[in-house]
Structure 1
């Protein structure tokens, strides 16, 4: 057993947040949801952090779901509150001003897949399994899984995963657009580090604006999204990073972005 539901470690500008309940396959209870929400809030406000990598402790699971033992005796009202608590975390991650990578090292089921889908990018081990098995418990997804899965993979795949409740392989998840990349399990950490380092070297303000315009564009009419994109595009011309990026291109060298 562990008394620390998450661990946080910095590797240069990359912050690693790990769900640390391997004895419970990193299941999400209320304390873990709150600890993660606090950790992402701190990462958002820390100027030294440019990228966040989220994963699970142990060899078996990213997050195997919500904590069933904690949910089993909830009333309807408390069940709704638990759902809203999880959705608050997912929205905190989804609206982060810095890229968040889910490193899916094992099972990502139920709340675990919902957690991964709230991240901006997902890289999975080839041995990982993902799914929404809530139907097998007489439940439905409660942390936003039906909505994010619908947007990532479409109606047919969402209904298949949520109605049948069977997990799928990482390769199938890649085909459906649920994950961005699949790596051999032995190479997952190295591949994730490479991706995180690439993002950390990019212009922070442009990264933030990209996350922002995609979030806004996914929730509004295209004309409104286009106008918002143009406004954010114009703002980039007021940044030192834009000047540095264009100078570096013309001088045929790598840019050194400072987030200004």
Structure 2
């Protein structure tokens, strides 16, 4: 038996990307996942699974340090393919959140840069990213109540962790749209920049993140994700273990030496 002989749902997927493309720039250690199904970049059921596999592949790619999720055109995404929900089995639909959570599971920093509509699954996959850059034109929303549904890919759960139950009920139960500046004020978005500066702000954040130790960044992301629901004492204990492990890393030694030498550190991720 060979690997190809094993049955796996991914083997039934098309080799072509469905509604998006991938751009890798080894010189800048950057990978871009670009939604490109104009005009609203609707995300299909197949695309969700392909996106998960893409994040996993980029996570394993040594040429990539930072991943950017962005879109062509005026809108990030108006959400999912509504008809696809009726065609999918209840079991399939119940697993959608696993695919959408791929950016959170990825060990590398993931930036979501959005302008225009960022609705439904578009908002949910953005919430699973580490950094969210928005503009005054950005509109976040979970409009599922208008369809007689609720968010099904982690949107309400992630949002409640960020902004609390009162604001989450206001957004989810009223299908309320939140503009970029308000999302930034509420702590949902990392930064709100003028629309014309979104690409430049994304480039700057990528370059900033590339300047840190990849080992320390992977450790920090996993620690913060793992301790989000932990009691304070457990979070502090885990933080101490992670700190002690990094204490013996080459990157930490390089960071200390660079600090004393008054030069930029040259981290290698070990």
| TM-score bracket for the superposition, by shorter chain length | over 0.9
Matched, 1:22 2:22: no
1: CA distance, partners of 2:109 / 2:135: 20
**Is 1:189 paired with 2:205?**
no
What pairs up with 1:37-48 in 2 under 5 angstroms?
Answer: 37-48=52-63
Alignment-derived partner of residue 162 in structure 1 = 172
What is the CA-CA distance between 1:4 and the residue it aligns to? 3.9
Query: What is the aligned counterpart of 2:262 among 240, 252, 255?
Result: 252
- Tell me by how many angstroms 1:165 deviates: 0.4
Structure 1 residues 216 and 83, CA gap change in structure 2 (3 angstroms): same
Q: TM-score, normalised by structure 1?
A: 0.93
Aligned to 2:71: 56
Q: Following TM superposition, by how much is the alpha carbon of 1:3 offset from its aligned partner in structure 2, in angstroms?
A: 6.9
Secondary structure of residue in 1 paired with 2:76: strand
Equivalent residues, number: 253
RMSD of Structure 2 on Structure 1 (CA): 1.5
- Mapping of residues 221-240 of structure 1, within 5 Å: 221-240=231-250
Confirm or deny that 1:82 pairs with 2:93: yes
Cα deviation, residue 106, structure 1? 2.0
Match of 1:10 in 2: 24
The equivalent residue for 1:94 is 104
Structure 1 gap ranges (5+) = none
Q: Which has the higher contact order (CA 8 A, sep 6+)?
A: 1
The residue that corresponds to 2:132 in the other structure is 122
Measured against aligned partners, the alpha-carbon deviations of 1:64-85 in whole angstroms (never above 9, x if no partner) come to: 11111222x347xx24522412
**CA deviation profile, 1:105-151 (whole Å, cap 9, x unmatched):** 22111111111000011001221111111101111000001110001
In the TM superposition, what are the counterparts of 1:136-147 in structure 2 within 5 Å? 136-147=146-157
Once the two structures are TM-superposed, the CA of residue 234 in structure 1 deviates from its matched residue by 0.5
CA distance in structure 2 between the partners assigned to 1:129 and 1:79 by the alignment: 29
**Aligned match of 1:216 in 226, 241, 249?**
226
Gaps of 5+ in 2: 1-15
Q: Deviations over 1:152-206 (max 9, x none)?
A: 1111110000011021211111111111100111000000110011001210000
Rounded Cα–Cα distance in structure 1 between residues aligned with 2:112 and 2:54: 15
Residue of 109, 120, 124 corresponding to 1:110: 120
1:190-247 per-position Cα deviation (integer Å, ceiling 9, x unaligned): 0011001100121000000000110111032222211111111011112111111111
